[in-house]
Structure 1
Amino acid sequence: MTFAATISAFLSGTKYGTHVAHVDSAQWSNVVASILPQFVSFTGLLLPQMIGFPLIMASIALNGFIDLTSGSYAPWYKALRLALTVPVLASLLLTCIFKMFH
């Protein structure tokens, strides 16, 4: 869970850096959208695992959705994000299911 939250924070940081570096996209809404998923992830670390796992999964999914629907990223980056987001979400889901039964 901690590693997944760290991944979410890293992805939020790349998004934040992209928006701050470009004056035209450094709007308040873009900056908030770039840091909100990391706050959700780290909140998930403070809660019990059965609540934290879904929060962290939602954070990573939200990060991926924002990146994939954004017009400010190159197509290769969007493909890379999709290729990395799906396995991370699947891994977290399987871990959550395993924790429920053990």
Structure 2
Amino acid sequence: MLTTFPYRSVSSLLIRRTVQYPLWNRANVRATYSNEFTKNELLRRYNTEHSSTYFDQFRYIRHLKDAPTVPLSFGLLGLVPFAAIPLYMCSTGIYLPDLAFTQLAYSASIISYVGGIRWGTLLEESNDWKKYTYSILPSVAAWLALLIPGRWSIVWALASFQGFLYYDVTKPGYPLWFKGLRVLLTTASCLTLFATLILSFVLPKK
């Protein structure tokens, strides 16, 4: 007579182990996992369930090693227009308002693009007014950046970049490598905008 197998599947025989994943500036999170859970899934769940401070977002940079080559390459190339303008003005020793505005216009297009990414993640979900409303806010912020006069437009662009970055990295919906890429690209672009803002004070205008 055959003996009934007491387990539903072989996977149920796997011994579940408790491991620790050290997170930067946080107490170690203990998680139980089996073969159906990956490290990224555990980290995603932890990040979803725990609030973050502003500086905690930089911990995602370590996941850049998992970023696919294509988005990483295009992202880094996208920094060229940001960096080229303040570098050119430094080399000439003259602040060029029209050239600075082209950097601002490029910044506005990138801010608007950030909202488009969030909109794309919502296409398979049911109607959620709050989430869809957020996804159009970057476009409105980008439009306002082009309307605000003088140096305040750069300040507004900086605030928009940082505000939307903080929201995106503290909310679910993006893979960890993408959050790391967002942190890297946003930080670099903000540094170039800040450099342009400083140059507007220290260099003579043409």
Per the TM superposition, whether the score is higher than 0.5 is yes
Q: 1:2 aligns with which of 97, 105, 108?
A: 105
RMSD over aligned CA atoms reads 1.3
Choose the corresponding residue for 2:200, options 95, 99, 102. 99
Unaligned runs of 5+ residues in structure 1 are none
Match of 1:42 in 2: 143
**Deviation, structure 1 residue 97:** 1.1
Q: Distance in 2 between matches of 1:84 and 1:59?
A: 14
Q: State how many pairs are aligned.
A: 100
Question: 1:85 is matched with which residue: 148, 170, 186?
Answer: 186
Runs of 4 or more consecutive aligned structure 1 residues displaced over 4 Å after TM superposition:
none
Deviation at 1:32, TM superposition (A): 1.4
Aligned residue for 2:172, secondary structure, equals coil
Shift of 1:101: 2.6
Task: Flag the structure with higher helix content.
Answer: 1
Q: Deviations over 1:39-96 (max 9, x none)?
A: 1122111121311011111111122112111111111111111111100111111111
Unaligned 5+ segments in structure 2 are 1-103
Residues 112, 139 of structure 2: 8 Å contact kept: yes
Which has the larger displacement, 71-80 or 38-47? Answer: 38-47
Q: Which residue of 2 aligns with 1:57?
A: 158
Q: Percent identity?
A: 27
SS at match of 1:35: helix
More strand by share: 2
Larger Rg: 2
